[in-house]
């Protein structure tokens, strides 16, 4: 279970404080597939960084499997991340001087895992890159780089995987393969997946869609597929009819 409790985040803009998250709260049960949607600048990336323990909030708590991340120091948070969390960055963040295999293998070795090389090859095989082990990032397409990033994020068997616009830089067909990959890893490993997306097709596949606007959650409901199954939708915005389907089909900004 991942719990966000009244999370706030302020940045200093010049000398003036700028509040980008205004008291965000929710609970995500283990094994969920959750999409966070909303306009550019609404606080999605900031929220993901807080949930993953990459960044600290100005107020509120993040509790992952009963451990309050927000009460830990950076070293302790790094340990929890190493044990439980996978993160796929929007820009992949592969190490350019390492091959695909090494990009997955090196973090395993740094964690002191035995058989890192075998595990790296197995993971790359699983994302369909068994034939690209020795390629450097510049020799891979955007979709292939994203798959290496996903293999790397799954290398520690995370209980929870965060992905920031994982299909943002990809064409439709490649994006669809990435979505299938995330879904199968969610189903097969029972990992929680929390992703930020502008992609209606991707949001539609989620169990649950959290819609953000101006640093707040304005709607929280099932993804479109669940909604068609008769899932319950809770509109926390009150005055608008922002439904799960509406949230999932918002235009790109």
User: Closer to ligand ADP at the Cβ: 36 or 185?
Assistant: 36
Per CB under 5 A, the segment of 14-22, 41-49, 146-154, 227-235 that binds Mg ion is: 41-49
* Interface with ligand ADP, residue 168, by CB under 6 A: no
Judged by CB under 6 A, which stretch of 42-50, 72-80, 98-106, 122-130 contacts ligand ADP?
Answer: 42-50
Are 87 and 78 within 8 A, CB to CB?
no
Buried-exposed string 196-225: b where 16+ CB fall within 10 A, e elsewhere: bbbbbebbbbbbbbbbbbebbbbbbbbbbe
Query: Cβ(9)–Cβ(57) under 8 Å?
Result: yes
Q: Are 206 and 182 in contact (CB under 8 A)?
A: no
76 vs 7, 83, 90, 92, CA distance in Å? 20, 11, 25, 25
Question: With binding defined as CB under 6 A, does residue 6 bind ligand ADP?
Answer: no
Member of 45, 103, 145, 156 binding Mg ion (CB under 5 A):
45
CA 174 to CA 198: how far, in whole Å?
15
Q: Does 25 bind ligand ADP (CB under 6 A)?
A: no
Indicate whether 180 belongs to the interface with ligand ADP (CB under 6 A): no
Count the site residues for Mg ion by CB under 5 A: 2
- Residue from the set 44, 81, 132, 152 that interacts with ligand ADP by CB under 6 A: 44
User: What's the CA gap between 247 and 249, in Å, rounded?
Assistant: 6
Q: Which of 11, 17, 157, 190 binds ligand ADP (CB under 6 A)?
A: 11
Q: Pick from ligand ADP, Mg ion, none: which does 20 bind, CB < 5 to 8 A by kind? A: ligand ADP
> Which letter does DSSP use for residue 212 in this model?
E
43 lies in the site for ligand ADP, by CB under 6 A: yes
Judged by the rule CB under 6 A, the positions of this chain that interact with ligand ADP are: 11, 18, 20, 38, 40-46
């Amino acid at each position: 279970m991942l719990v966000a409790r009244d999370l706030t985040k302020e940045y200093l803009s010049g000398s003036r404080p700028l509040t980008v998250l205004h008291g965000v709260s929710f609970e995500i049960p283990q094994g969920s597939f959750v999409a966070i949607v909303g306009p550019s600048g609404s606080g999605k990336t900031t929220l993901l960084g807080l949930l993953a323990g990459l960044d600290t909030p100005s107020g509120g708590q993040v509790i992952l499997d009963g451990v309050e991340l927000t009460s830990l120091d950076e070293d302790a948070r790094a340990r929890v991340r190493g044990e439980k969390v996978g993160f796929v960055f929007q820009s992949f963040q592969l190490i350019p001087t390492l091959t695909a295999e090494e990009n997955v293998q090196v973090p395993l070795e740094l964690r002191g895992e035995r058989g890192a090389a075998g595990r790296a090859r197995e993971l790359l095989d699983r994302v369909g890159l068994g034939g690209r082990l020795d390629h450097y990032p510049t020799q891979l397409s955007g979709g292939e780089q994203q798959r290496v990033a996903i293999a790397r994020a799954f290398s520690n068997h995370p209980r929870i995987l965060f992905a920031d616009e994982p299909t943002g830089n990809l064409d439709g067909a490649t994006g669809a393969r990435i979505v299938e990959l995330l879904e199968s890893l969610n189903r097969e490993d029972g990992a929680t997946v929390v992703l930020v997306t502008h992609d209606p097709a991707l949001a539609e596949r989620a169990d649950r869609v959290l819609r953000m606007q101006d640093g707040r959650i304005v709607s929280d409901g099932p993804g479109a597929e669940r909604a068609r199954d008769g899932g319950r939708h809770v509109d926390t915005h009150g005055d608008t009819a922002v439904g799960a389907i509406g949230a999932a089909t918002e235009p790109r900004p």
